[in-house]
Each structure stands twice: as C-alpha cells, then as structure tokens.
Amino acid sequence: MQVTPFEQLKTVSQKQINEEEYLLNLSKQLGSNSTWYKVRESLIKSYGQTIDKKYFSELNIINEDNVSKKIFIKAKTGFADSYITSNHMENLAHAFKAQGFSFELVKFSNFNKI
C-alpha cells in the first residue's frame, strides 16, 4: 500500500485551480466567445499552460475573415515561428477545424525591426 502525502494532493489540486484561473484570465483577455480563445483553450487542455505561455501566447491574430472562416496568425519572434512550424502546425489546424475555421501562419520576418 502506498501512502500519498497531503502536500502532493494539495499540489494537484492547486494545479487544477491554476488552470481554471489561467483560462479565466485568458478569456478576459481574448473574449470567451472568440475563435482564438476557443482554439487556445483546446490547446491548453491538450498541451498545458507551459507550452501555451511559451509558444501559443507568442502568436498574434493578424486578420480574422469570418466570411471565408480563415484566421491569419503571426509569431512575435523568429524562434516561436520556427517552433510552431516544426511542432504544432497539425495541432493548430485540428484546433481551428474544430471551431469551423482554417488558419495561415504568416511567416515571421525581422526585416521590419532593423
């Protein structure tokens, strides 16, 4: 029989509360009915807050075309662009498709920052 320390149970409980708070704050920031919030919520549930904070939060909506149901997003940094392109394009496509949208990742460019 294995005994689970109380502190360990508390940590799991805190994590769940923190995820709820994280999603609540995100919904206030993005709007709980926005497509981008719903996509991010899905990704957070699949990949966690850490990946969201490091990478998905580094994406900005450039344009949302509600007629063609397509959203254009762009990474804030070259690293985030590279990481998303290499690791999460299918995940993003699936999350957007679940909302009835497609998306395009606009290539990051440092040219405008010179």
As a whole number of angstroms, the distance between CA 48 and CA 68 comes to: 30
Instruction: Name which of 45, 42, 72 is nearest 60 in CA terms.
Output: 72
As a whole number of angstroms, the distance between CA 110 and CA 108 comes to: 7
- Rg for the chain, CA atoms, rounded: 17
Task: Identify the residue with better confidence: 54 or 110.
Answer: 54
> pLDDT tens digit string along 55-97?
999 999 999 999 999 999 999 999 999 999 999 999 999 999 9
pTM confidence score = 0.79
As a whole number of angstroms, the distance between CA 27 and CA 36 comes to: 10
Instruction: Show the domains of the chain with their CATH numbers.
Output: 6-113 (3.30.300.180)
As a whole number of angstroms, the distance between CA 51 and CA 2 comes to: 32
In this predicted structure, what is the pLDDT of residue 94? 98
